[in-house]
Structure 1
Amino acid sequence: MEEIQVIRRSPAMTTRINDLGQPIGWAVADWTPCPRPPRTPMEGRTVRLEPLDPAKHGDELWAAFEADETGRMWTYLPVGPYADRGAFDAALATNAKSEDPLFHTVIDLATGKAVGFCTYLRIDPNNGVIEVGFITFSPLMQRTTGSTEAMYLMMARVFDELGYRRYEWKCDSLNAPSKAAAARLGFTYEGLFRQAVMYKGRNRDTAWFSILDSEWPGIKAGFQAWMDPANFDADGKQKRGLAALISERRE
């Protein structure tokens, strides 16, 4: 797909007043709706994201998720853990047909195996808004370079390829690891939606985060600096953290 070169940035903070003397938002000139995310792969240095295919990915995903022996990875997700393989396969079949959420399997390029999945959801081409969610990373990819690169690839498609204005991350406000991940990845905390939803028979107060297109160039530069092989020592340990690199480069 041809890359969209124009990033629609917000202008400097200025006050616009209409003919009635009321303050109004800044003008969005020549806006056209964004394309919907395509069902095509996204490949990086350590991982490839490809559309979920139950026949191709089912066995490997089941094995990867079984590595979570306590079921901890499912606590804050609206689904899972699955009682048996049949229930899991039925869920995969439904997920693979879905357009929103749009599921992508994460392939570890070192092993060639599926190790998790993530989605685009609440896709709003007219307003240029899209969310990342259903992030289901097995223990095989948690706290790895690949888990970070997978999130970078999702962002790069949204902003560089499709030209969206806003990228969202939402999570249970009690999910401390998810909130920490959002901050590390460059998202800005926007607030708490109290009693937003119910899932698994319990309340969820939802924490909202976002990245805007105007912020993306600096965040992208931070990701690229972090993923540079020179940022890792001989044992694969990072020399500088992602959050610090993004902070230095974002506008």
Structure 2
Amino acid sequence: MTRQNEYGQPIGDPVPGPFPRPRPPRSEMSGRYGRLVPLDPSHAPALHAAYASAPDGRVWTYLPNGPYEHENDYAEWVEQAARSDDPLHFTVLDREDRPLGTASFLRIDPGAGVIEVGFINFSYQMQRSRLSTEAMFLMMTRAFDELGYRRYEWKCDALNAPSITAAKRLGFTYEGTFRQATHYKGRNRDTAWFSIIDSEWPAIRAEFTRWLDPGNFDNDGHQMTPLKTR
């Protein structure tokens, strides 16, 4: 039942404090299949090589930066990105500590308890892997369990079908499309908005934990059952 104030007007549920929530720290997030560490210029050569190993450059199509034909150009971007606090960039390492992708927290709003995940660029080797799913889970865990954020956002170009599919698979709810929200690389971007809120997180966390368990994979590494977050 919707609460009412003394004037009979509907008002929202109470929100426990304290606010602002903590800002995400520049520290490691570790999992079973890999870990995320703060982006560092020393990661640039391996990351560039990982992206260059793909059969084409489609991983860069919906990002505001790239592609980078030359390692030095990518290294310049990493040098600047590594100093940023928002976006706060992380490198995804596999169990052999090979840098295979990046992701970040951005549009960080501690006062409202809202944070976004974005700038996701997983190399060809990471795509459709346990590591890629675990990386997203680790970032959600930091946002909700460690920092107490109320809302976790995912935004993408409304034409980016793989990103939309990924958001839904990971448990995000579609909220709408902002028309002509921005532009990049000389073209328009309508932005699709998705979110997970804190009340949804416990069930989503339990499903990630189940899916990531080694018992959910056969001897060839194939999943026994899919991730079912909705």
- TM-score, normalization: structure 2? 0.97
Aligned to 1:119, the other structure's residue is in SS state: strand
Quick one: which of 24, 27, 30 aligns to 2:11?
24
Q: Which residue of 2 aligns with 1:79?
A: 65
Residue 236 (structure 1) aligned with residue 230 (structure 2): no
Count how many residue pairs are aligned between Structure 1 and Structure 2: 230
Q: Which residue of 1 aligns with 2:80?
A: 94
Q: Which residue of 2 aligns with 1:4?
A: none
Shift of 1:150: 0.3
Structure 2 runs not aligned, ≥5 long: none
Residue 59 (structure 1) aligned with residue 42 (structure 2): no
Deviation sequence 1:62-90 (CA, Å, 0-9, x none):
11011124211000111110132221111
Quick one: which of 44, 53, 56 aligns to 2:31?
44
Amino acid at match of 2:65: V
Residue 167 (structure 1) aligned with residue 167 (structure 2): no
Identity of aligned residues (%): 60
Q: Which residue of 1 aligns with 2:111?
A: 126
Query: Whole-Å Cα distance in 1 between the matches of residues 203 and 16 of structure 2?
Result: 23
Query: Whole-Å Cα distance in 2 between the matches of residues 208 and 26 of structure 1?
Result: 23
Query: Whole-Å Cα distance in 1 between the matches of residues 139 and 6 of structure 2?
Result: 42
Deviation sequence 1:149-180 (CA, Å, 0-9, x none):
00000000111111100000000111111000
Amino acid at match of 2:98: K
Deviation sequence 1:205-234 (CA, Å, 0-9, x none):
111000011111100000000011111111
Aligned to 1:120, the other structure's residue is in SS state: strand
- TM-score, normalization: structure 1? 0.89
Contact 2:44 2:71 (8 Å CA) reproduced? no
Amino acid at match of 1:77: L
